[in-house]
């Protein structure tokens, strides 16, 4: 068997080559290798490895699994049992190596071994259990549980082991195995080692403890042990567990027990309370599509999602849900919710814009470019459809918003790139590469990276000049751009549509307003702070901000000017 490939990452190229050859030779034939020598060689392999501990552990686990096929005497299971007697002498390595060889044997036994080998190994493992509980051999309690499980040790096996020891040493008191095991479990409970205690109760099918034991486990917050015990005890105990979790406001844990054990009919209120809590968290993050999928068509949950959408001012989502699921009775409450939202969020009309212009054809693009080239300062933002599938590629940037003081242009990048890629590239290059136009953004480096990934063929996104990222200037405010707007302008932004479908055409009125506001507010924040900064009486202390030191340029998506390096053409002071 070729082991070189499996352990190559653990060996040293030069200094340990000879030692490694000896290890490989020994592992290729275990018929004459004792457990002590085997463990020593394993330790040398581990010590020589240069990768991280977890990676080394997995590589060695794989190696041990394979070398168990190489004729250990008298058999693989007995060989591992004998190793477990010896492994404590490795001290610091003892616990890790115990888990390693047990897990390797567990995997090996799925293929099978001889009945004779396994029966003998059970006897050795039962004796090992007695010696460990008695303190003659030191093993961690979790290792002990694994030994009982992998060798399938029964009370009868322990009884037999106790009898054999009694015959060898008449001074040893003989008691029933069940009593011996229960005493050990009681010690584990006293030391609050609940998971080990529960594992042993389950392994030996001991059901003497009840609700008080479960509550005691919960009080120590050992929830995994509580779940395991209740599952072992059955439905009545599971119901007690759900009630206890609910009283302690552990809704997620209660829900998981309900779902896993089909207890929804027993606890409909708790089930829906958790579902509603989950929907609310998703809605707060603007992940509406996932929230809708989580309802699974449940009318009660859909109704709650509609109320969340109304509360957030996401009215097209309200209409969409009501139409799709034939939900009634939500129209009359829209008006008061709208009035409430006007007092909470900044509205586009408060910025006194003259127009919001959708640009999806060449003439509109050229007109927009001419207007922007005349500006000293613009706000820039972009949007793309979110992708919630783990590991999948992000979607292409759908739109770019560029705002002057009076007009916001929303560029349909997908269509413009499809129809007139060269003209789009030239127009955006004249804006993004211009040292005369100050570009205001918020975390815009992230947008630039996404733009370059989406439209790698275009030169315009590989370089920019005169970018002032407000996120770098204001590092304290919480809540992103919305939090900054709240601090500077007195009202935050409604971010409900941030994760909406930006690839749909046409965009809804609400999406257009959201997109325009995200770019236009950057200009107003900048102007507002500058007007205060020029005044001696600045309650927020903005006069101390060195704006010019935050202006950066960027080339080839990798090289930035150092913070504090000022653009030479034109003088940045002209913007302030």
Report pLDDT for 419: 97
Alpha helix (H) ranges present in 248-404? 251-260, 268-284, 288-295, 299-312, 315-325, 334-344, 362-373
Enumerate the domain spans of the chain. Answer: 1-155, 269-344, 348-575
| pLDDT on residue 170 | 52
Q: Are 411 and 404 in contact (CB under 8 A)?
A: no
Determine whether 273 is exposed, middle or buried from the number of CB atoms within 10 Å of its CB (0-12, 13-18, 19+).
middle
DSSP structure class, residue 547: G
Helix (H, G, I), strand (E, B), or coil: what is residue 136? coil
Instruction: Tell me the per-residue pLDDT of 174-192, one tens digit each, with 9 for 90 and over.
Output: 789 999 999 999 999 999 9
Range 198-218 average pLDDT: 92
Q: pLDDT value at position 119?
A: 93
pLDDT higher than threshold 70 for residue 546? no
- The SS3 assignment for 106 reads helix
**Superfamily of segment(s) 348-575:** Ribonuclease H-like superfamily/Ribonuclease H (3.30.420.10)
Predicted confidence (pLDDT) per residue in 226-243, tens digit:
999 999 999 999 999 999
Apex 196 CA angle, 190 and 200, nearest 5: 100
Separation CA 190–CA 197 (nearest Å): 10
Q: Which residue has the higher pLDDT, 208 or 152?
A: 152
The contacts of residue 11 (CB under 8 Å, 6+ apart) are 17, 20, 48, 49
Q: Is 141 helix (H, G, I), strand (E, B) or coil?
A: helix
Contact 435/462 with Cβ under 8 angstroms?
Answer: no
Cα separation of 126 and 147, whole Å? 9
Q: Which residue has the higher pLDDT, 397 or 546?
A: 397
3-class secondary structure for 21-34? HHHHHHHCCHHHCC
Please give the model's pTM, rounded to 2 decimal places.
0.67
**Does position 260 have pLDDT exceeding 50, yes or no?**
yes
Q: What is the mean pLDDT of residues 470-493?
A: 83
Helix, strand, coil distribution of the chain in percent, nearest 5: 65, 10, 30
Encode pLDDT of 406-438 as tens digits. 999 999 999 999 999 999 999 999 999 999 999
At residue 322, the pLDDT reads: 92
Q: Which of 66-75, 158-167, 280-289 has the lowest mean pLDDT?
A: 158-167
pLDDT of 564: 39
> Do 149 and 203 touch, CB atoms closer than 8 A?
yes
Give percent of the chain with pLDDT exceeding 90.
55
- Which pLDDT belongs to residue 358? 98
**What confidence tens digit (pLDDT) does each residue in 318-327 have?**
888 999 898 8
Is residue 100 within 8 Å of 62, Cβ to Cβ? no
C-alpha 351/C-alpha 357 separation (Å) is 15
In the prediction, which pLDDT does 267 show? 96
User: Residue 14: its pLDDT value, please?
Assistant: 42
Closest of 352, 346, 306, 311 to residue 327, by C-alpha:
306
Write the CB contacts of 284 (distance below 8 Å, at least 6 apart in sequence): none
**Residues linked to residue 341 through DSSP beta bridges, in sequence order:** none
pLDDT at 287: 87
Q: What is the pLDDT of residue 565?
A: 44
How many other C-beta atoms can be found within 10 angstroms of the C-beta atom of residue 480?
A: 15
Find the distance separating the first CA and the last CA of the chain, reported in whole Å. 74
- Whether residue 330 has pLDDT greater than 90: no
Average pLDDT of the residues of the chain: 85
Per-residue pLDDT tens for 530-540? 765 555 444 45
For residues 170 and 422, the model is more confident at 422
Name which of 419, 428, 415 is nearest 505 in CA terms. Answer: 415
Question: Is the pLDDT at 338 greater than 60, yes or no?
Answer: no
């Amino acid at each position: 068997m070729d082991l070189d490939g499996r352990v190559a990452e653990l060996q040293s190229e030069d200094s340990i080559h000879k030692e490694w050859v000896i290890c490989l030779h020994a592992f290729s034939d275990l018929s004459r290798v004792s457990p002590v020598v085997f463990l020593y060689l394993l330790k040398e392999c581990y010590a020589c490895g240069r990768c991280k501990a977890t990676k080394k552990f997995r590589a060695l686990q794989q190696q041990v699994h394979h070398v168990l096929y190489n004729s250990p005497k008298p058999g693989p299971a007995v060989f591992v049992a004998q190793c477990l007697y010896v492994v404590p002498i490795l001290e610091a390595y003892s616990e890790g190596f115990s888990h390693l060889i047990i897990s390797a044997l567990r995997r090996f036994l799925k293929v099978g071994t001889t009945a004779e080998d396994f029966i003998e190994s059970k006897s050795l493992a039962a004796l090992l259990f007695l010696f460990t509980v008695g303190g003659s051999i030191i093993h961690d309690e979790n290792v002990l549980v694994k030994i009982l499980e992998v060798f399938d040790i029964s009370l009868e096996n322990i009884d037999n082991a106790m009898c054999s020891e009694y015959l060898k040493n008449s001074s040893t008191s003989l008691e029933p195995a069940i009593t011996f095991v229960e005493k050990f479990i009681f010690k584990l409970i006293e030391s609050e080692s609940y998971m080990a205690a529960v594992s042993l109760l389950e392994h030996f099918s001991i059901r003497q403890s009840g609700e008080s034991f479960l509550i005691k486990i919960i009080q120590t917050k050992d929830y995994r042990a509580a779940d395991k015990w209740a599952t072992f005890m059955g439905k009545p105990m599971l119901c007690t567990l759900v009630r206890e979790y609910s009283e302690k406001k552990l809704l997620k844990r209660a829900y998981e027990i309900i779902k896993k054990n089909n207890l929804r009919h027993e606890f409909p209120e708790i089930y829906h309370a958790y579902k509603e809590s989950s929907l609310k968290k998703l809605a707060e993050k603007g992940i509406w599509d996932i929230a809708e999928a989580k309802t699974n068509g449940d009318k009660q949950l859909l109704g709650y999602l509609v109320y969340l959408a109304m509360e957030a001012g996401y009215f097209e989502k309200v209409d969409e849900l009501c139409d799709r699921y034939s939900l009634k009775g939500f129209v009359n409450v829209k008006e008061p919710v709208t009035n409430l939202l006007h007092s909470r969020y900044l509205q586009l009309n408060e910025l006194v814009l003259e127009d919001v212009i959708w640009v999806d054809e060449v003439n509109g693009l050229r007109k927009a470019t001419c207007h922007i080239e005349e500006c000293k300062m613009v706000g820039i933002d972009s949007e793309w459809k979110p992708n919630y599938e783990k590991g999948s590629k992000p979607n292409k940037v759908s739109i770019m918003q560029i705002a002057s003081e009076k007009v916001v242009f929303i560029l349909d990048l997908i269509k413009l790139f499809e129809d007139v890629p060269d003209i789009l590239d030239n127009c955006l290059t004249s804006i993004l590469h211009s040292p005369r136009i100050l570009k205001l953004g918020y975390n815009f480096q992230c947008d630039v990276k996404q733009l370059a990934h989406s439209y790698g063929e275009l030169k315009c996104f590989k370089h920019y000049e005169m970018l002032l990222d407000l996120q770098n200037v204001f590092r304290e405010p919480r809540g992103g751009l919305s939090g900054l707007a709240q601090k500077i302008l007195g009202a935050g932004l409604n971010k409900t549509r941030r994760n909406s479908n930006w690839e749909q055409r046409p965009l809804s009125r609400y999406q257009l307003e959201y997109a325009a506001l995200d770019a236009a507010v950057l200009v107003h924040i900048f102007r507002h702070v500058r007007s205060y900064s020029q005044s001696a009486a600045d309650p927020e202390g903005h006069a101390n901000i060195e704006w010019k030191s935050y202006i950066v340029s960027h080339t080839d998506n990798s090289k930035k000017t150092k913070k504090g390096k000022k653009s030479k053409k034109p003088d940045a002071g002209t913007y302030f």
